[in-house]
Chains A and B, each alone.
Chain A
């Protein structure tokens, strides 16, 4: 993160990733809207089924993901100062938190399955599992991207002038975080 007095500059990272980010946000946006409107026709079912969710785990995952995004922001700041090694470390930290997210989510899926929650149980469960699984896949993809960026950061392939890759990969990760923020509020919290 740069100082407030820094001059304004170009879009962080590749233009292409931003097209992709907005396209992905659109897909998730449609999914979220579908969930909300499906709920409108099955309010009691949704309210009832939502109680079976592990809100604690969901909240923990929110904190994990937000913190990992913070780490990525710190990584970007580090590379802007030309500190490739530090950048790599922050990214490794973010990846570590990503692993924590995946582990918590997998545990949650395991619990759900044990309680008989499947795609076919009811409409809420179908949406809950689909949304979180779809997001899960994006966390995986984000981690793959961050891993590549971290590797290149350690290898000294980025510098003060040339670090678009870090911003590109970082932007994608922030999107994954942003999507979860909405997902958590929508699926786990509001009723």
Chain B
């Protein structure tokens, strides 16, 4: 850690992990409610568990991205953060708003929450992932503006690297792409368009740039490879993301009342969206092979290498499976989508967030890497979580395929609930894997509470002994 002001990243990272844990708890509740619909009813009905799960995901990822920005931007710009104080105030505002929102979901009936918070003035509530009350949405914009102001001012007074430009540019994009959240027209086609500008624009566009920048930073620091090489790869990856992803938004436009040409344009361009993920794998492994040093933080390296692979599987492979219009006609909105969503979000965004935390946290705590024991726990957590998530994905894939065949095809399709009851085995499997995932998370979190740093001497002794 080179600049004192990078410390502000720490609370962001800690909050991110805490909210991540919260996210999984609600996920387990919602998952169990597939099997027993009365579980925790009426205290935490399914819709509340679901939106708590998804909103916590988004907030913890945003916390991680912000922390990453506060850590990376000063180091790249080679100057202290413009205002660490502002960053800390913003942190508490964001965390406070998040907790307040969660309490709102849990303790206030949603329609009442809407009435209390001025939804009548400007309706913004009620859409998936955008359930937040209007004041909270405004708060999110203000938090984002605060971040952007801070890191942009830092950039302006320091060295302007390609990586910083990409990261900060992407964060500006993130903020701008959130603005359609305030546009909720009665026309359902237009409402769908605007929703997807945020959701697709974020996760299949803007956030991929953030993913690239974070991964690029970690690889520069940990492998010692020439910055120029990393940055060139990033430009190619980003270009392919935008070339495929911008028109690729059409794969959400097939069946919402949009013009027919989207069937073609969406299918063709979204079919190519896996390309940047393939490039990310090639990039990460090429940098690994070209490395000039053996960084002691093996856990962070594992996260960094695992991220593009799982991201490709979830976003690229599973995404491809459901993207072509003729196929999507049968699988739209089934658990195949949920399978893709879980593996993609985890691989692309959760894992890269955990990677940057894995790299930066030891440094923020005053050491280059954690002790070998702590790293072993962390890496075990990695494996348990990755394998569990793959299990969840496979379980949901099974359920989705059953739905497609029994509910969407054939001469006598069955009803939704009837089909759901036939899929119970998959939902049990999913819940079991979810519990394993939670176990992996606990193992992972434990590694943070193990003291001691990496002992080079131990490694030398081991090397000499073998």
**A contacts, CB < 8 Å to B:** 14-17, 19-20, 23-24, 26-27, 30-31, 34, 38, 119-120, 123, 126-127, 130
Complex CA gap A26/B239 in Å reads: 14
B261 touches A23 (CB 8 A): no
Q: Is the CB–CB distance between B243 and A14 below 8 Å?
A: no
The complex places the Cα of A119 from the Cα of B260 at a distance, in Å, of 9
**New A-B contacts (13) at CB < 8 Å, excluding given A15-B232, A26-B272, A31-B268:** A16-B235, A16-B236, A20-B239, A23-B236, A23-B239, A23-B243, A27-B243, A27-B269, A30-B268, A34-B264, A119-B259, A119-B261, A120-B261
Q: Are A26 and B236 in contact (CB under 8 A)?
A: no
**CB of B177 within 8 A of chain A?**
no
A17 to B233, CA, bound (A): 9
Residue of A nearest to B275 (CB): A23
List 9 contacting pairs A-B, 8 Å CB cutoff, sorted by A.
A16-B233, A19-B279, A20-B235, A23-B239, A23-B240, A23-B279, A26-B272, A27-B275, A120-B260
Q: Which residues of B contact A30 (CB under 8 A)?
A: 268, 271-272
| Cβ of A136 to closest chain B Cβ, rounded Å | 14
Indicate if B265 sits at the interface (CB-CB under 8 A): yes
Closest CB pairs A-B (n = 3): A16-B232, A126-B261, A119-B261
**B375 sits at the interface (CB 8 A):** no
Residues of A within 8 A of B279 (CB): 19, 23
Compute how far the CA of A127 lies from the CA of B265 in the bound complex, rounded to whole angstroms. 9
Q: State whether the Cβ of B353 lies closer than 8 Å to any Cβ in chain A.
A: no
A15 to chain B, nearest CB (A): 8
Q: How far does the Cβ of B166 sit from chain A's closest Cβ, in whole Å?
A: 14
A17 to B232, CA, bound (A): 8
Enumerate chain B interface residues (CB-CB to A < 8 A): 232-233, 235-236, 239-240, 243-244, 259-261, 264-265, 268-269, 271-272, 275, 279
Quote the shortest CB–CB distance from A51 to chain B (angstroms).
Answer: 21
Contact B272 A27 (CB under 8 A): yes
Known contacts A14-B232, A26-B275, A27-B272, A130 near B240 by CB under 8 Å: no
For B269, the chain A residues whose CB sits under 8 A away are: 27
Cα–Cα, bound, A27→B264 (Å):
14
User: For the complex, what is the distance from the CA of A139 to the CA of B412, rounded to whole Å?
Assistant: 52
Closest to B247 in A: A134
Docked complex Cα distance between A127 and B259 (Å): 14
Total A-B contacts with CB atoms under 8 angstroms apart: 46
Expressed in whole angstroms, the Cα–Cα distance for A123 and B268 within the complex equals 14
Do A19 and B236 contact each other (CB < 8 Å), given the known contacts A120-B259, A120-B261, A130-B261? Answer: yes
Contact B268 A34 (CB under 8 A): yes
A19 to B239, CA, bound (A): 11
B244 CB contacts on chain A under 8 angstroms = 27
Return B247 CB to nearest CB of chain A, in Å.
8
Q: Which residues of B contact A126 (CB under 8 A)?
A: 261, 264
Residues of B close to A24: CB separation below 8 A = 243
In angstroms, Cα B118 to Cα A154, docked, is: 59
A27 neighbours in B (Cβ, 8 Å): 243-244, 269, 272, 275
Asked if B240 and A20 make an inter-chain contact with CB atoms under 8 angstroms apart, the answer reads yes
Q: How far is the CB of A145 from chain B (nearest CB, A)?
A: 12
Q: In the complex, what's the smallest C-beta–C-beta distance from B457 to chain A, in angstroms?
A: 40
> How far apart sit A126 and B260, CA to CA, in the bound complex (Å)?
10
Which one of A23, A31, A123 has the greatest number of beta carbons of chain B within 10 Å? A23
Look across to chain A and name the residue whose beta carbon is closest to the beta carbon of B278: A23
With both chains docked as a complex, state the minimum distance between the C-beta of B163 and any C-beta of chain A, in angstroms: 15
Q: What residue of chain A has the Cβ atom nearest to residue B271's Cβ?
A: A30
Question: How many Å lie between the Cα of A130 and that of B268 in the bound state?
Answer: 11
> Most chain-B Cβ atoms within 10 A of its Cβ — which of A16, A24, A126?
A16
Q: Given A120-B260, A120-B261, A130-B265, does the pair A20, B272 have CB atoms closer than 8 Å?
A: no
| Residues of chain B with a CB closer than 8 A to A19's CB | 236, 279
Q: Measured between alpha carbons, how far is A26 from B402 in the docked complex, in Å? A: 34
Closest to A23 in B: B240
Q: Which residues of B contact A23 (CB under 8 A)?
A: 236, 239-240, 243, 275, 279
| Across-interface contacts of A31 in B (CB, < 8 A) | 268
Cβ contacts under 8 Å, B259 to chain A: 119-120
- B209: min CB distance to chain A, Å: 16
In whole Å, how far is B323's beta carbon from the nearest beta carbon of chain A? 13
* Interchain CA distance A38-B232 in the complex, whole Å: 36
- Complex Cα gap A19–B232 (Å): 10
CB closest residue in chain B, given A121: B261
A151 CA to B239 CA, complexed, in Å: 23
What distance in Å separates the Cβ of A45 from its nearest Cβ neighbour in chain B?
14
Report A-chain residues with C-beta under 8 Å of the C-beta of B275. 23, 26-27
B426 to chain A, nearest CB (A): 34
Chain B CB within 10 A, most for which of A19, A34, A130:
A19
Name which residue of chain B comes closest to A120, CB basis: B259
Q: Which residues of A contact B260 (CB under 8 A)?
A: 120
Task: Give the docked Cα–Cα distance between A127 and B267 (Å).
Answer: 13
Which residues of B are found within 8 Å of A34, using beta-carbon distances? 264, 268
Closest to A137 in B: B243
Query: In the complex, which residue of chain B has the Cβ closest to the Cβ of A18?
Result: B236
Q: How many whole Å from A122's CB to the nearest CB in chain B?
A: 10
| Cα separation A123 to B261 with both chains bound (whole Å) | 8
- For A120, the chain B residues whose CB sits under 8 A away are 259-261
